[in-house]
């Protein structure tokens, strides 16, 4: 039935959104933080999945795009009174420019996978250092947003509202995924992933398709930062720009299912639960980056035992593109 | 109207793979490119399709100089190719492989699917449409190469040894397809080792040797050419 009525697929994100909202009604408020983290993980990972899963390019810069979105929008809001959403658009534009520069360097000529990963990693650290230097110069204690109920700036006294917004973003990202993976652009991305030379011979403008994907997903990722800024209220370089976010995105996508539509959602749920368990451990064990070790171990396990992720268990027959 | 190479040269770190070779392929014609291994046949394909840039000379497509254009643009202008070493998009289905080609001219997904299914029908892979490309046999992968190239709806098609490894009966089917495509107005260049196929299919044969054009003519003329016999066919039974 679904194949005859393709638009029905677009109901899936809507249903997911409704279910999530209903579930949130019965979740104790102490788990609101976990729910928000879940939406952030899922949303960023869906964005990253276009690059890492569909196009097969290992970007290590998307964590920094998220952090930059949070930091720029928070600074503009606190220092210049720019509404958070407007600041978010500005942040997205800045992030898009960085992604474009990265793409111009990387995709102009055919470069190896390792080179691309290292280039994006270097960019991520350059951006972190830039923000850190700015913080040392002007914002020594971080950027602090006022704790007042201010829905237009995504600041809510009821933390569940951040979760709802996050779920809407997840649903939109999933809808975009459905659209892309069923249309020309998605096929071009998958062809690039499978074989760049063959893709070129089949009329795919490899550099421009990859550049569009990097720039669009970078800008989209930065919006998660805006949501995080309004939610966290206290935005510090070392936290929002931390490479930990990138680690989580990799763990989420690989555990959930690389290149699969629901991979990031399932992976984010899994990683969030693991994160909560780690957090609930006694301080003596939980301290000192144990979460990073756990995420790393999960990636190793996923890579060796579940190459198609959790989603792949259910749908082993269906490969990456499409659907 | 033709696909033209004008005095094309290509050098690979010291080795002159193509030395000022010219060819002209009008629509509806079948040109066979033959020569011993390393003669420059595949290099000619690389240069015509734009996968590699020529060091000298020009490639002209129906009057447009495409020498500086990347392969994807040449594909959109009407040059399609297959790869000698097949390049299936392994994790995608056969149909999706061909759809990638069809999307060149049809941005609408269902239109592209119709074009892709037709191309699969033409090469005889229609019943494999929903299989993953990695599950195909080598023979089927070669058919997939052709289907994908056809789905881009080219005006000129470069077939790189797409008959190799086929049994005689299968070769006949493929030859019929090539003949039919030429009748539809497609210009075709075949790189081929089997003289049986070259003699029966090609209207014109070009012999390359050490990157130079050694001879050009009808299959009958080439078969009689003493230089060609000496350089390439010497030990072989020409008529196959």
Task: Examine residue B239 and state whether it is found in any structural domain, yes or no.
Answer: no
- For residue A56, what is the nearest residue in chain B, using CA coordinates? B91
Chain B interface residues (partner A, CB cutoff 8 A): 49, 51, 70-73, 75-76, 80-81, 83, 87-93, 96, 99-101, 103-104, 107, 109, 112, 132, 148-149, 152
Domain co-membership, B161 together with B228: yes
Interacting residues of B181 by C-beta distance below 8 A, sequence separation 6+: B150, B157, B188
Cβ distance of B81 and A201 shorter than 8 Å: yes
B155 near B62, Cβ under 8 Å?
A: yes
Mean pLDDT score of chain A, rounded to an integer?
90
Q: What value does the mean pLDDT of chain B take? A: 91
Is B110 in the same domain as B168?
no
Contact criterion met (CB < 8 Å) for A321 and B96: yes
- For residues A147 and A73, give the distance between their C-alpha atoms in angstroms, rounded to a whole number: 16
Inter-chain CB proximity B49 and A201 less than 8 Å: yes
Domain boundary among B108, B125, B153: B153
Regarding whether B63 and B21 lie in a shared domain, the answer is yes
| CB-based contact B200:B179 (threshold 8 Å) | no
Of the pLDDT bands very low, low, confident and very high (cuts 50, 70, 90), residue A322 is very low
Identify the residue among A180, A181, A202, A210 best suited for mutation to test binding to B, counting B beta carbons within 10 A and taking the highest. Answer: A202
Residues B71 and B138 grouped into a single domain: no
| SS3 labels along chain A | CCCCCHHHHHHHHHHHHHHHHHHHHHCCHHHHHHHHHHHHHHHHHHHHHHHHHHCCCCCCCHHHHHHHHHHHHHHHHHHHCCCHHHHHHHHHHHHHHHHHHHHHHHHCCCCCHHHHHHHHHHHHHHHHHHHHHHHHHHCCCCEECCCCCEHHHCECCCCHHHHHHHHHHHHHHHHHHHHHHHCHHHHHHHHHHHCHHHHHHCCCCHHHHHHHHHHHHHHHHHHHHHHHHHHHCEECHHHHCCCHHHHHHHHHHHHHCCCCCCHHHHHHHHHHHHHHHHHHCCHHHHCCCHHHHHHHHHHHHHHHHCCCHHHHHHCCCCCCCCC
User: What value does the mean pLDDT take over residues B3-26?
Assistant: 92
Q: What is the pLDDT of residues A257-303, one digit of tens each?
A: 999 999 999 999 999 998 888 888 877 766 667 777 888 888 888 88
The tokens describing B102, both together, are 């069809």
pLDDT digits (tens, 9 = 90+) for A169-202: 999 999 999 999 999 999 999 999 999 999 999 9
Tell me the backbone φ, ψ of residue B157, rounded to 5 degrees. Answer: -125, 125
**Alpha-carbon gap, residue A55 to A252, rounded angstroms:** 18
Q: Beta-carbon neighbour count of residue B53 at 10 Å?
A: 13
A253 and A296 Cβ atoms separated by less than 8 Å = no
B111 with B216, same domain? no
Q: Which domains are present in chain A? A: 6-314 (1.10.3470)
Token pair 């809001």 is found at: A77
Q: What is the pLDDT of residue B240?
A: 39
Do residues B113 and B199 share a domain? no
In a domain, residue B136? The reply is: yes
Domain tally, chain B: 2
Q: Which of B72, B76, B91 sits opposite A319 (nearest CB)?
A: B91
- Same domain? For B21 and B74 the reply is yes
Q: Do B176 and B220 share a domain, yes or no? A: yes
Please say whether the beta carbons of B18 and B43 come within 8 A: yes
| B15 within some domain | yes
Ranking A79-83, B141-145, B227-231 by mean pLDDT, the lowest is B227-231
Residue-wise pLDDT for B86-97, tens only, equals: 999 999 999 999
A4 contacts on B by Cβ (under 8 Å): none
- Residue where a domain terminates, one of B153, B170, B185: B153
Tell me the pLDDT tens digit for each residue of A9-20.
Answer: 899 999 999 999
Give Cβ neighbours of residue A140 (< 8 Å, ≥ 6 apart): none
* Cα–Cα distance for residue pair A65/A240, rounded to 1 Å: 10
**For residue A27, is pLDDT > 80?**
yes
Tokens of B2: 């033709």
Same domain, B15 and B66: yes
The confidence score (pLDDT) of residue A8 equals 86
* Pair (B129, B118) in one structural domain: yes
- Reported as a single tens digit per residue, the pLDDT across B226-235 is 888 877 655 4
Residues of B in contact with A194 (CB under 8 A): 88-92
Whether B240 is in a domain gets the answer: no
Q: What is the CA radius of gyration of chain B?
A: 17
B55 shares its domain with B99:
no
- Chain B residue with CA closest to A181: the answer is B109
pLDDT, tens digit, 9 for 90 and up, residues A120-146: 999 999 999 999 999 999 888 889 998
Of the candidates B51, B71, B89, the beta carbon closest to that of A191 is on B89
Counting Cβ atoms within 10 Å, is residue B14 exposed (0-12), middle (13-18) or buried (19+)? exposed
pLDDT score of A319: 46
- Is the CB of A320 less than 8 angstroms away from the CB of B112? no
| Minimal CA separation from B45 to chain A, in Å | 11
Residue B37, both tokens: 């291994």
CA A246 to chain CA centroid, Å, is: 8
B98, B127, B153 - which closes a domain: B153
pLDDT of B5 higher than 60: yes
CA-nearest residue to A3 within chain B is: B110
DSSP state of B230: I
What CATH number did the domain enclosing B225 receive? 3.40.50.300
pLDDT of A1 reads: 38
Query: Which residues in chain B have their CB less than 8 angstroms from residue A195's CB?
Result: 87-90
pLDDT for residue A317: 45
Interface with A, mutate which of B79, B95, B96 (most A CBs under 10 A): B96
C-alpha A274: how far from chain center? 18
Residue range of the domain that includes B199 = 3-78+155-233
* Cα–Cα distance measured from residue A227 to residue A224, given in angstroms and rounded to the nearest whole number: 5
Same domain assignment for residues B103 and B221? no
Is B58 inside any structural domain? yes
Of A195, A206, A319, the CB nearest to B132: A319
H helix or E strand, kind and range, residue B160: strand B156-160
**Is residue B48 assigned to a domain?**
yes
- Which residue of A183, A205, A319 is in closest CB contact with B72? A205
Separation in Å, CA B44 to CA A122, B30, B63, B195? 40, 16, 19, 19
Count how many pairs of residues, chain A against chain B, have C-beta atoms within 8 Å.
Answer: 84
What would the pLDDT profile of B56-74 be if each residue is shown by its tens digit?
999 999 999 999 999 999 9
Distance from CA of A149 to the nearest CA of B (A): 46
Contacts of B109 in chain A (CB under 8 A): 182-184
């Amino acid at each position: 039935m679904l194949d005859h009525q393709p638009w029905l697929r677009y109901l899936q994100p809507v249903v997911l959104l409704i279910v999530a909202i209903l579930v949130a009604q019965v979740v104790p408020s102490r788990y609101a933080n976990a729910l928000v983290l879940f939406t952030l993980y899922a949303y960023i990972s869906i964005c990253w999945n276009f690059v890492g899963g569909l196009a097969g390019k290992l970007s290590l810069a998307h964590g920094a795009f998220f952090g930059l979105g949070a930091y720029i929008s928070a600074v503009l809001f606190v220092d210049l009174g720019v509404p958070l959403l407007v600041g978010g658009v500005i942040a997205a534009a800045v992030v898009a420019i960085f992604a474009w520069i990265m793409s111009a360097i990387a995709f102009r000529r055919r470069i190896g996978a390792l080179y691309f990963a290292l280039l994006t990693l270097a960019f991520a650290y350059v951006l972190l250092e830039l923000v850190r230097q700015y913080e040392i110069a002007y914002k020594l204690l971080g950027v602090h947003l006022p704790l007042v109920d201010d829905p237009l700036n995504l600041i809510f006294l009821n933390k569940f509202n951040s979760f709802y917004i996050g779920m809407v973003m997840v649903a939109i990202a999933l809808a975009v995924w459905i659209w892309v993976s069923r249309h020309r652009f998605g096929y071009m991305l998958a062809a690039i992933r499978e074989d760049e030379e063959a893709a070129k011979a089949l009329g795919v403008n490899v550099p421009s398709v990859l550049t569009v994907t990097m720039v669009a997903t970078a800008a989209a990722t930065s919006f998660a930062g805006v949501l995080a800024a309004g939610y966290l209220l206290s935005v510090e370089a070392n936290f929002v720009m931390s490479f930990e976010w990138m680690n989580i995105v990799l763990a989420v996508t690989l555990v959930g299912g690389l290149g699969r539509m629901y991979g990031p959602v399932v992976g984010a749920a899994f990683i969030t639960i693991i994160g909560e368990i780690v957090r609930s451990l006694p301080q003596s064990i939980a301290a000192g980056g144990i979460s990073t070790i756990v995420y790393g171990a999960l990636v190793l396990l996923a890579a060796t035992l579940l190459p198609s992720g959790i989603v792949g268990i259910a749908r082993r027959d269906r490969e990456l593109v499409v659907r | 109207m033709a696909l033209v190479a004008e005095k094309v040269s290509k050098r690979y770190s010291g080795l002159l793979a193509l030395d000022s070779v010219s060819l002209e392929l009008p629509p509806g014609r079948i040109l066979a490119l033959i020569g011993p291994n390393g003669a420059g046949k595949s290099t000619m394909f690389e240069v015509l399709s734009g996968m590699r840039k020529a060091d000298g000379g020009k490639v002209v497509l129906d009057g447009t100089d495409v020498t500086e254009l990347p392969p994807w643009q040449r594909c959109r202008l009407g040059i399609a190719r297959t790869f000698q070493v097949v390049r299936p998009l392994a994790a995608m289905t056969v149909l999706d492989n061909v759809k990638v080609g069809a999307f060149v001219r049809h941005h609408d997904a269902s239109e592209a699917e119709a074009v892709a299914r037709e191309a699969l029908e033409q090469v005889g892979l229609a019943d494999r449409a929903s299989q993953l490309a990695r599950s195909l046999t080598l023979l089927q992968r070669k058919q997939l190469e052709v289907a994908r190239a056809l789905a881009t709806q080219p005006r000129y098609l470069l077939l790189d040894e797409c008959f190799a490894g086929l049994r005689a009966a299968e070769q006949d089917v493929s030859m019929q397809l090539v003949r039919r495509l030429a009748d539809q107005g497609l210009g075709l260049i075949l790189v081929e080792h089997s003289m049986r196929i070259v003699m029966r299919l090609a209207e014109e044969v070009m012999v390359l040797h050490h990157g130079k054009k050694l001879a050009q003519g009808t299959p009958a003329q080439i078969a009689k050419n003493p230089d060609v016999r000496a350089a390439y066919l010497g030990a072989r039974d020409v008529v196959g």
